[in-house]
Structure 1
């Protein structure tokens, strides 16, 4: 289950969702439209996300819609993503801008919202007791697992650690390769 799929499920279940203004990637737009959601000139919701080619005019229009009463939503709020050349901006950078400029707090469908975990468990027909969440970010991966009652392992080779996080993994490892050892595989 992706955060885009979780957002689509959240918005299709929202009776107040009458249309979207999408300030996000073409891939997220496709997921939302494939779920039967529609774009609108008078949106009830503004979808914030990352798009490397997004013009500033699209962010300005998103802000206008928020100031006109649309609600701010996002698939995820990760501020950055590790790449081969270092960290790159992620959806959370756009979310933070729109939150600050509009005074709204985004409703985020992805991690750490437990709904994305519940959606995945339901689709896989699994119980939380039978799942181990493996993640590299305390405030999304591990916090979400904590909230959903799922055991978790933090892999420290991904994102920089967040010393202010209240999320607690069941255990942590230096890299994903050592997980096999830890599990005795």
Structure 2
């Protein structure tokens, strides 16, 4: 049996609204060979259905079931920690849908958790409510630590920045579920029914993708189509298993990307 793939989305398969050349061929090869894969994203705004539609517009045919978001990872974590609990949520449909689907009640009345996700419309009123609920004893969870997100106009404040504001006001640090927490990798492995020994992580960032893959026991591949460059990658105390220009370099050898023969069947 060949490798199972976990792949970051932005910077690996797509760049803003454009396909990374070769990404469509890699996905087609994986599907043709029945190799299991998940596309991962720290973005909690969209549901897998939304993201499937977005990817199709770029020319990528990724099944809804093959998309794993920090919102889904957060819901999986909360379901294991406190089944059928309650949460006050700052976020959009990707996060609220994921929590509804595990039976969570979304409320501002004495919730078990304050769950912070990404949104394009952070509200001062909502942030103030979150601060007061955390002060009152609600446990503080955030989908990911990314401080900024991209837009056509430049950087936007993202989940990590707003989490820092709430932490500064309350003195309580959030528990971040998304990358670089290896918990996101492990929840993705469970969703696939895969094992770390036969799974690799492809990403464009050393500080999130490669780090989380490494800490989850996966082999890692760094691509040069996103954030990290050969120069910045050398500054980290850890290294990916393989560095390539782009996912196009894996087309035709997805079964054996390291050139050491396919992994053994589980």
- Structure 2 vs 1, CA of residues 18 and 129 (structure 1 numbering), >3 Å: closer, same or farther? closer
Match of 2:95 among 28, 48, 65: 28
- Structure 2 vs 1, CA of residues 151 and 84 (structure 1 numbering), >3 Å: closer, same or farther? farther
Question: Which protein is bigger by CA-based radius of gyration?
Answer: 2
- Which residue of the partner structure matches residue 15 of structure 1? 82
Gaps of 5+ in 1: none
Instruction: Output the CA distance in 1 between the equivalents of 2:84 and 2:104.
Output: 9
Q: Is the 8 A contact 1:74 1:108 kept in 2?
A: yes
Gaps of 5+ in 2: 1-67, 259-266
- Which residue of the partner structure matches residue 38 of structure 1? 105
Query: 1:4: how far off?
Result: 0.9
Residue 70 in structure 1 maps to residue 70 in structure 2: no
- Which residue of the partner structure matches residue 194 of structure 2? 126
Query: 1:180: how far off?
Result: 3.9
Deviation string, structure 1 residues 126-149 (Cα, Å, up to 9, x no partner): 221222211122222111101110
Instruction: Output the CA distance in 1 between the equivalents of 2:248 and 2:155.
Output: 22
Q: Mean alpha-carbon deviation: is it higher for 15-24 or for 125-134?
A: 15-24
Supply the RMSD in Å over aligned alpha carbons. Answer: 2.7
Deviation string, structure 1 residues 11-46 (Cα, Å, up to 9, x no partner): 112238842111122321121112111123111211
Matches within 5 A, 1:1-185: 1-15=68-82, 18-40=85-107, 41-159=109-227, 161=232, 165-180=236-251, 183=257
Normalised by the size of structure 1, how large is the TM-score?
A: 0.85
Instruction: Output the CA distance in 2 between the equivalents of 1:96 and 1:167.
Output: 27
- Structure 2 vs 1, CA of residues 37 and 163 (structure 1 numbering), >3 Å: closer, same or farther? farther
Q: Mean alpha-carbon deviation: is it higher for 16-25 or for 123-132?
A: 16-25
Deviation string, structure 1 residues 63-101 (Cα, Å, up to 9, x no partner): 111111111101211122344554333322222222222
- Structure 2 vs 1, CA of residues 9 and 152 (structure 1 numbering), >3 Å: closer, same or farther? same
Find the residue that maps to 1:169 and give its secondary structure.
Answer: coil
